[in-house]
Amino acid sequence: MIKVRFAPSPTGYLHIGGARTALFNWMYARAQAGKFVLRIEDTDRQRSRQEFVDEILESMRWLGLVWDELYYQSARFDIYRQQAQKLLDEGKAYKDGEAVILKIPVQEIKIDDLIRGEIAFDTATIKDQVLMKSDGSPTYSFACVVDDAAMAITHVIRGEDHISNTPKQIMIYQALGLKAPKFAHLPLIMGDDGRLSKRTGAVAVTDYKKEGFLPEAIVNYLMLLGWSPGGNQEKIDLASAVKKFSIKKVNKAAAVFSMDKLKWLNGQYIKEMPAGRLTDLIIPFLKEKGYVSADFDRERLEKIVELFKVRMSTLTDFLEWADFVFVDQLTVGDEIRQQHLSRDRSKEFRILSERVSRLDTFDTASLEKTFRDLVAELGIQASELVHPVRVALTGKAIGPGLFDTMAILGKEKTVQRLREAFL
């Protein structure tokens, strides 16, 4: 049975690149009916923090990348010490102070990378490798090799930045008399200008969550970076992707992260989501913003969500589009005011407010009829009144259909805002 692992270091949040590595490992494990191990590489006592461990686990769960086994390297120091002692006893390593260092014999090393094919190295250019540091903790490569062997990892799928670590680690496998696993080095994800960084936008998975991205969209987007399900398919769920996944079909070239495309995909997932579920996801954002309290009209909220669904690309877009429903005091930008409310429409607004206030059923159809009858009477184009009214009600020049907007705003606020528009 195949077994893979994702081995993050809890010295920071789960990075979007790390999430992609985890995803490909996870997909490979699922596609091969194998196991997915999560190993926390917390050997650096100074920089590792529990808060980051928690965050990594939470992000993994949020993305749906559940693990079969979980290990902490900090709990395995005895094993690393034993293995280092063994190499010392066998004369394959030597001490320098308290540190244990592996002798690197000169030889040609070849790795058969599942994605890149054969890669050759000459160890003459590799210096002796530290296995155990002076403080008694193992180095990354040593702990990594000891654990991958101990945990029976069959395939090491990791970022391309580890290619040059591979020959060093193979030397450790050799010294320990262990069989090396198969390797697959994934292409890196980059930003617009080189390495993926804050410049490109969010880097931590939690940032994407805060910005209103859906885990299924992120996972979908990430798998498209370096792999394609074929058949011109872009939107694909994890389960279907697993069925088509092949590590050999993974690209070799680094990919540039596109926030535009992620947003588009996220919007696609939002548009196909039932308003009820979408509302569930938006509520935490509304609460945080203070737009709804404990008791709110759930049914009405769903209607509002439904109205904005089609134009949202992230959950937080709702906050910006629909803010006028939740706030008492509207703020209208000078430019918009100048453009749409500079001409005095107080007479029209007054009549409109009087008529809609008399409406028994304050719904889209009644509002539209009332409005259209009025503009016909006044002998003006509907659009002459539509735009000023929208601005007066929402503070925005753009938005959903005006009559839907009035209906969800409710009679009280609609009437009030019409009356106060030209005061």
**Minimum CB distance to RNA, residue 119 (Å):** 4
Residue 174 in contact with residue 104, Cβ under 8 Å?
A: no
Residue 45 CA to residue 77 CA, distance in Å, equals 12
Sequential DSSP letters for 315-327: TTHHHHHSHHHH-
CB of 255 to RNA, least distance (A): 3
- The catalytically annotated residue of 95, 103, 110, 198 is 198
* CA–CA separation, 350 and 347 (whole Å): 5
Which of residues 65 and 111 has its CB atom nearest to RNA in the complex? 111
Q: How far is the CB of 49 from RNA (least distance, A)?
A: 13
Q: Closest distance between RNA and the C-beta of residue 254, in Å?
A: 5
Q: Tokens standing for 370?
A: 């009332």
> Judging by beta carbons within 10 Å of its beta carbon (0-12, 13-18, 19+), is residue 339 exposed, middle or buried?
middle
Pairing of strands 129-132, 117-122: unpaired
| Burial of 81 (C-beta count, 10 Å sphere; 0-12/13-18/19+) | middle
Integer Cα distance of 78 and 74 in angstroms: 9
222 vs 301 by CB, closer to RNA: 222
CB of 375 to RNA, least distance (A): 10
Catalytic residue at 198? yes
Q: Select 279 or 405, whichever has its Cβ closest to RNA.
A: 405
Give the C-alpha separation, 193 to 200, whole Å.
8
Provide the 3-class DSSP secondary structure of residue 57.
Answer: helix
Nearer to RNA, 288 or 398 (CB): 398
Of 253 and 294, nearer to RNA (C-beta) is 253
CB 55 within 8 A of CB 116: no
Distances, alpha carbon 70 to alpha carbons 15, 51, 147, 161, 323, in Å: 19, 17, 12, 24, 43
Q: How far is the CB of 173 from RNA (least distance, A)?
A: 16
Residue 244 or 296 having the CB closest to RNA: 244
Identify the CA nearest to 43 among candidates 148, 167, 141: 141
Active-site residue list: 198
